[in-house]
Amino acid sequence: MLDRLLRYLSVVTAFGAYLMLLMGAIVTKTGSGKGCGNSWPFCHGQLIPQSLPIETVFEYSHRIISGSVGFLILVLTVATWIRYRSDRKVKTLGFLSLFFVILQGALGALTVVFEDTFAKQAALALHFGFSLISFASVVLLAVHLFQMNKADEKTRLPVHRGLQVGVWGLAIYTYLVVYTGAYVRHAHATMGCGYQFPGCGSHWLPNFVTPSGIHMLHRFAAISLVLFVLIVAIWIWNQYRQRKDLVHGVNAAFVFIILQAASGVITVFTGGQVLAALLHTTLISIFFAILCYLCMQVLNRKSIT
């Protein structure tokens, strides 16, 4: 009974972590970061603000959701640590979930006092990245809780160390690409190339400190990421067909990276509309969680050197 409750709690917490990411994207896209002024954790120094313009609603809702999700992660982490005290994976994923949700909250508080500077833009990009790690960690913890005692014999087959390096390298590179995308948003460079795609006016290599250059840097990183995913997918399709967990995982990763690329094009053609930006955030969050799942699966057993 307790195991079932913890599994349900992990699903609810993972969904909450997704809402936290989504609300952060809404705050950024609508320019609501100063909706509560320079005060934190309350809004304009009040528990319930007297005035509630839309930017205040967005910013304060984000803070409330983040605080609630942080509490759920704390409860889930402590409960799973107690229930599965000998499971190293539960301890690691719980720690990562809790550590990065606290870190992103602290960084979010710091950005409140920053003015519109490079430091603020970089801090906001890090804020999203840390939230993404927390989300992925909660998702993996939920997956692990559901997978307990259900391992298929074929998932016990080891993989070559080269594939482990490739999958982990792909996840790390994806995380770096995510930061370029977050920086595009926070540097207000979403429409740095206007409505043009795949080019950027007459310049394919604009100055990378300009809005167009920041935008193109993210495009180049995203295109190379698609190729990286394809290489890893072909590797798994050819050599690890018997590992259904890896095949299903890389199939999902390939589908979501294509959808992510398409949503990026849609964002450009729609002039950076909020719904397109939220779709972009949703897809990259799911894609990164899938890659983290693959990282976990390739390390399940001893590798072949």
Rounded average pLDDT per 10-residue block, the chain, 305 residues: 90 94 84 76 77 84 90 95 92 94 83 59 74 94 86 67 95 93 81 82 69 87 95 95 94 96 91 86 95 90 53
Residue 200 · residue 215 · CB < 8 Å: yes
85 residue type, one letter: R
Q: What is the pLDDT of residue 260?
A: 95
Would you please indicate which residues are annotated as catalytic (active-site) residues?
59
Contact 145, 13 (CB under 8 A): no
Share of the chain above pLDDT 70, in %: 88
The model's pTM is 0.88
